[in-house]
Amino acid sequence: MIKSNPREQHRTNRTGWLRASVLGANDGILSTASLVVGVAAAHASHSSVLVAGIAGLVAGGMSMAAGEYVSVSSQADIERADLKLESKELKDDAENEHKELASIYEKRGLDPLLAKKVALQLMAHDALGAHAQDELGISTNFKPRPVQAALASAATFSAGGAMPLFIILVAPQMILVPIVFGATIVFLAGLGTLAAFIGGAPMFRAALRVTLWGALAMGLTAGVGALFGGKL
């Protein structure tokens, strides 16, 4: 029995949930903060800014949940259709499907004879699973879960969006924009650093990347609020 090397700590298995969590939290922080900064720059009252932030948090969370649910559901539908078609092809023409699978292994570097033996043994064990994995690129161990994805996206978005809302509650009206702006940059930098640390990527570059885009987004919305706030 081959034992895994405990010193080998690969992080590719974290990319799925890490991407979803970071994306949700980042969107929650940035979209809520940008909305708040834009409204505050238009010289709205403190209560109006707070209401806008709460409305943006609720709307954004529901949008993330709905978008993720539809996206993952579509992926699941496509995978089910492909698996159904592949199952039919295996029943109708198993010999040709064996050749197709063997050809895939040849392209990966196996000699023709070994490729045929590997394809034969894998198909004898789980024909549909072998073709799903190596021909279609579908992992039977990681099935799309639309409800789980929707709830996770909504939760991470809400957690991120709650940060700038807390700043609104404690920041004075006169300096609300710079405080929210600065705090959001700190939040984004921390999130980028944490994500990079978990994923084993360079932390400074990740933090710099997310803060630059965050500053640009808030700067643009603040400019829109200041430009049109006094004219509406």
> What would the pLDDT profile of 143-189 be if each residue is shown by its tens digit?
777 888 888 888 999 999 999 999 998 888 889 999 999 999 999 99
| 46 is a domain residue | yes
For residue 7, count CB atoms less than 10 angstroms from its CB and return exposed for 0-12, middle for 13-18, buried for 19 or more.
exposed
Range of the domain at 205: 24-225
Q: Please, what's the b/e burial string for 164-201 (b: 16 or more CB within 10 A of its CB; e: otherwise)?
A: bbebbeebeeeebbebbbebbbebbbebbbbbbeebee
| 51 is a domain residue | yes
Instruction: Please state, rounded to an integer, the average pLDDT across all residues of the chain.
Output: 83
In this prediction, residue 11 carries a pLDDT of: 44
In this prediction, residue 49 carries a pLDDT of: 92
pLDDT band at 4 (very low <50, low <70, confident <90, very high): very low
The Cα 152–Cα 68 span in angstroms is 9
| 19 is a domain residue | no
- For 31, 38, 132, 184, the CA distances from 178, given in Å and listed in that order, are 16, 12, 53, 10
| 35 is a domain residue | yes
pLDDT band at 228 (very low <50, low <70, confident <90, very high): confident
| 169 is a domain residue | yes
| 171 is a domain residue | yes
Amino acid symbol at 48: S
Nearest to 38 by CA among 219, 231, 230, 232: 219
80-131 residue pLDDT tens: 888 888 888 888 888 888 888 888 888 888 888 888 888 888 888 878 888 8
pLDDT band at 194 (very low <50, low <70, confident <90, very high): confident
Report the domain count for the chain. 1
| 7 is a domain residue | no
| 12 is a domain residue | no
In this prediction, residue 10 carries a pLDDT of: 44
